[in-house]
Structure 1
Amino acid sequence: MAEFKVVVADPDAGETYQRDVDGQDANRFLGRSLGDEVDGGAVGLDGYTLEITGGSDETGRPMRADVPGTSLKEILLDGGVGFKPTTDGERKRVTVRGAEIADDVAQVNVSVVDGDGDVAAALGEGDDEAEADDAE
């Protein structure tokens, strides 16, 4: 059974939120590729649309949009996702994962592209300081 950590980015607020999904909610991501849009109901954001922007497998290898499928592939990189060169012209062979989400993926990064209202409120994320003030 698939199980992912989904990192939801809210570009309007500049915040990110993490959610663990499994079961039927995780199955909504299987077979999707980077750039695809999914229903936000899988992470508790009913009425929102999310775009898959990235992810990584259990060993930390990043997903790349230019690698098809779900398999691992060694590619020669001069920058971008998976490698940051330290000198001009530096290249390195790096193992990356394909753009399609499979059971091997541990983390999926998504961004909110459509929906009305406050994402933090929809996810049940409150202002910790305000809650602490209310408790006193």
Structure 2
Amino acid sequence: MPSTNNFVRQCAENQYPYIIQQGDTLFIIAYRLDTTVSSILRTNRGLDPYNLQVGQSICIPACPPNHNAYIIQTGDTLWRIAQTHGVTIKSILEANPSVEPDYLRVGQRICIPNCEVCLN
């Protein structure tokens, strides 16, 4: 029987769709996409984490409210990112609990707080 889940879900602003792949678990997805299982579950009310279907579309939270997504570039450090965005390293780490400060990955998405804790 063909799956009815093979469509890309319309996700809210500050979210993006993800298609479940063979072998995916919410833990694996959360780790790979730098989010948490609880955030994925909050974003996808009614999602059964024990019954994910290959081809199923779910929404991944991009960043919390009042935060902007930033993609790590070659040569980036948390200090440089904090200086560029006018925030503290502490505020970046609080917004991204899974980020290893000394092991930023090029292409990794992190969330930068809107200048709530400005350095000015």
TM range (shorter): under 0.3
Find the structure with the greater CA-based Rg.
1
TM value normalised by structure 1: 0.23
TM value normalised by structure 2: 0.25
Q: Which has the higher strand share?
A: 1
